[in-house]
Structure 1
Amino acid sequence: MPLTTADEGNSSSSDSSASTNDSIDTLRPSESTLPTPNPWPQYFEQELFLESSSENQHAKYHVYLTPPRDPAKGPLFICHHGAGATGMSFACFAAAIKKEMPHAGILSLEAREHGSVVTSPSGEEILDFSIETLVKDTLAMIELVKQRQGWHKLPPAVFVGHSLGGAIVTRIAADGVLGAQLVGFAVLDVVEGSAIEALMHMKTYLASRPASFASVDQAINWHIRSRTIRDLESAKASVPSLMIRDGERWMWRTDLTRTQRWWEGWFTGMSGLFLRGRAAKALLLAGTDRLDKELMVGQMQGKFQLTVIPEAGHFIQEDVPEKTAHLMIEFFKRNDRSSLVLPPKVSDLLAQGKRV
């Protein structure tokens, strides 16, 4: 598939670490009034808490869902956020999907300690952020939603993963566990090589951001001023879900420093897995220089669709939600096998007495 470049903006991005540094160093002027948070019902029809127990753990998974009008036809856009984010990072994306394709469904998942809670049977914390465990959580959430909705099988789906979510999506697509119902998968702004390089800057970034805020409104304002998120409505939708109240202060819901020993394992081998994924593939990047050698070769061979959106930062789906939604809808339409009209078989034509 050829390289495509989305509409050019005034700003551009280079590698992931540069985007992170831009978020730290580039502050916009303070706004005169603080924004008001937007609640989840503005973007999704349902908020689900899905419980599952085994000998080793008890899980209470948290997801947001707008079911497709016809589960047999779909599409269902399944979304997985990045490290430190939540399912609400796809809120404005979900609204844009419904506006352009009203019959579509959107399922936005939340990882453990990002909204979902997973403990031992006795209620003790399980500290495990390995990619294998996160993949199991993701598949469990999808299956539980399918059961809750009474779907005979998963609707035709496009799986969209941002950053860490992209690594999870890639592994699931490479394993082929969703079968033919996975029409395609899309990875947003993460590539193995640059992701591993950017991990060196992660500790600096975490140490540089405020440890707490006096209010959720101030947290939203910080995300906009620091250009961590570049769209105000997206920040109003997603930032409140990132915070929890501790006394008179608002703290980060997820302590990413506790996940550090798993960081490299999230992305190692991702490029090869991406190219082996058993569905149509799309990669959306905020800069042109993020492809590693393996992906560059694959892109030149037409193995996946690459789109560059230079006006977006790392949180592509939040910075340009309408554009991201449009790209994903077109991606589904191009690869939806149910819409294909195959020519009749020669044997059928002969049986009808027709000449071939």
Structure 2
Amino acid sequence: MSDLRKSVLGMHAKRSGLAAASKQDFTPVKWTEYFDSEEKIQTEHGNFHLFSKGNEGPILLCLHGGGYSGLTWSLFAAEILKVIHCQVKAVDLRGHGNTTTNNDYDLSLETLASDVVEVANYLIEKVGTPIILMGHSMGGAVAVEAAYHIKSVVGLCVIDVVEGTALDALSSMQSILRGRPSHFKSLPHAIQWCYKGGQTHNLEAARVSMPGQIVNMKTNKLAADECDDIDMNNIELTSSSHRELVASSYTLTEVAEESDESDEAKCSDCGKPPLPKSQKTDVFKCPNNFKVKDDGPQYTWRIDLSKTEQFWTGWFKGLSQKFLDIRIPKILLLANIHGLDTTLTVGQMQGKFQMQVLARSGHAIHEDQPHNVAEIVSGYLVKQKLAEPKSDFIQPPLPSC
């Protein structure tokens, strides 16, 4: 576990030198670069927002992890549509993104799964095609639960969540959440933290995904909706290629580095991050020639995950056995083989599911390695005859089982 305790700022030094840093672009990218459309689905409990790409084949209903939004699937959606016929539907779960409900902080597993069932039933009635559930972290647990209640579910993909390791790490989750910045001075500031802090190791993913996780403190508008009209008055270009800005307490925190065994850093939503040993404010180095006026915080998190602690255990308790018992084709993608618990290890040996480990990836595997995840998932769906390949499809090596 010690290899996960990395300095938030130190991560960048291992990726590149200062020359490379000065060329990095932390401006946001609009969701329209990856998805075709967005829509709201009204249910008894709220209006659920989702992004869509593709118009034929089975529906891949994608569920994000805690604190993320449907935009976390942007790069994956663009990649998988290149090789198979399918429709990607990425929903903002309750309390996240642009979804609004009667109680945004009721994140119990039962409520989240019920929401997904309602959305899935609407899509089935409207489109009439089978559903393949994909879930990352918290969303993986929700996908497993919802799969038992959706008749048209034909496949299940769970990304980087395992009951044993998730439950073991819950005791340190509040400390992990407190270690994140509570506010950001600007949208590029937030994107830079997302990338340099290791929430994603893919800068392109950070540029499209992070705006879906924060809101403007003055307007309460989701930052993703401001990508076309960013307040550039709050950002000044400087002649210096690498300015130092002194960070205030709401800007950035640094976690003391213990080991350089791994380049991984984990996100705050499910399970894997360890307890930071120490925290301190530090100088915020702002590449890409940005100088942010110190007008105070402009953005904060869409949802305060620390207020949902009462639901955390319920997300993961019994997850492994429920995953094994569901009788549909299923695949598990992990960032680290050592995270596999006893129940899943036995199930894997018995061939009850397919598994693939993607090394050199952080917790958000589908953001860090969207091409590889799309290749694995598409190959698996074609193998199971759940989706049709496109003309340039090449069958990848089958996942280990």
Structure 2 equivalent of residue 164 of structure 1: 138
* Displacement after TM superposition at 1:143 (Å): 2.3
Instruction: Tell me, in whole angstroms, the C-alpha distance in 1 between the residues paired with 2:387 and 2:176.
Output: 45
How is 1:115-194 mapped onto 2 (pairs within 5 angstroms)? 115=97, 116-119=99-102, 125=103, 127-147=105-125, 150-151=126-127, 153=128, 155-173=129-147, 175=148, 177-179=149-151, 181-194=152-165
CA contact (8 A) 1:26 1:227 kept: no
Q: SS where residue 355 of structure 2 aligns? A: strand
Is 1:84 paired with 2:47? no
Q: 1:216/1:126 Cα in 2 relative to 1: closer, same or farther (>3 Å)?
A: closer
> Which residue among 348, 351, 360 is the counterpart of 1:311?
360
Q: Which amino acid in the other structure matches residue 131 of structure 2? A: A
How is 1:179-328 mapped onto 2 (pairs within 5 angstroms)? 179=151, 181-247=152-218, 249-328=298-377
* Displacement after TM superposition at 1:128 (Å): 1.4
Instruction: Tell me, in whole angstroms, the C-alpha distance in 2 between the residues paired with 1:289 and 1:225.
Output: 25
Instruction: Tell me, in whole angstroms, the C-alpha distance in 1 between the residues paired with 2:375 and 2:87.
Output: 14
CA contact (8 A) 1:190 1:285 kept: yes
Q: SS where residue 29 of structure 2 aligns? A: coil
CA contact (8 A) 1:24 1:209 kept: no
CA contact (8 A) 2:155 2:329 kept: yes
Query: Could you list the per-position Cα deviations for residues 141-198 of structure 1 after superposition, in whole angstroms to 9, with x for gaps in the alignment?
Result: 2223344xx32x3x2332110000110111122x2x333x323101100000001112
* Displacement after TM superposition at 1:23 (Å): 7.3
Q: Which amino acid in the other structure matches residue 42 of structure 2? A: E
Q: 1:260/1:315 Cα in 2 relative to 1: closer, same or farther (>3 Å)?
A: same
Q: SS where residue 111 of structure 1 aligns? A: coil
TM-score scaled to structure 2, two decimals? 0.71
Instruction: Tell me, in whole angstroms, the C-alpha distance in 1 between the residues paired with 2:333 and 2:51.
Output: 23
Runs ≥4 in structure 1, deviation > 3 angstroms?
21-26
CA contact (8 A) 1:24 1:205 kept: no
Q: Which amino acid in the other structure matches residue 233 of structure 1? A: E
Q: Which amino acid in the other structure matches residue 35 of structure 2? A: F
Give 1 or 2: higher helix fraction: 1
Q: Which amino acid in the other structure matches residue 116 of structure 2? A: T
Deviates more, 1:220-229 or 1:30-39: 30-39
Q: Which amino acid in the other structure matches residue 166 of structure 2? A: A
How is 1:47-126 mapped onto 2 (pairs within 5 angstroms)? 47-53=38-44, 58-69=45-56, 74-101=57-84, 103-115=85-97, 116-119=99-102, 125=103
Q: SS where residue 107 of structure 1 aligns? A: strand
* Displacement after TM superposition at 1:309 (Å): 0.7
Instruction: Tell me, in whole angstroms, the C-alpha distance in 2 between the residues paired with 1:172 and 1:219.
Output: 32
CA RMSD of aligned residues (A): 2.0
Q: SS where residue 11 of structure 2 aligns? A: coil
Matched residue count: 302
Query: Could you list the per-position Cα deviations for residues 116-160 of structure 1 after superposition, in whole angstroms to 9, with x for gaps in the alignment?
Result: 1111xxxxx46311100000011112223344xx32x3x233211
Q: Which amino acid in the other structure matches residue 266 of structure 1? A: W
Instruction: Tell me, in whole angstroms, the C-alpha distance in 2 between the residues paired with 1:23 and 1:183.
Output: 42
Q: Which amino acid in the other structure matches residue 92 of structure 1? A: L
* Displacement after TM superposition at 1:338 (Å): 8.2
Structure 1 equivalent of residue 34 of structure 2: 43
Query: Could you list the per-position Cα deviations for residues 211-261 of structure 1 after superposition, in whole angstroms to 9, with x for gaps in the alignment?
Result: 111111111111111111000111111001111011451101110011111
Instruction: Tell me, in whole angstroms, the C-alpha distance in 2 between the residues paired with 1:107 and 1:337.
Output: 16
TM-score scaled to structure 1, two decimals? 0.80
* Displacement after TM superposition at 1:18 (Å): 6.0
Identical residues among aligned pairs (%): 35
Q: Which amino acid in the other structure matches residue 58 of structure 2? A: P
CA contact (8 A) 2:54 2:81 kept: no
How is 1:328-347 mapped onto 2 (pairs within 5 angstroms)? 328-336=377-385
Structure 2 equivalent of residue 343 of structure 1: none
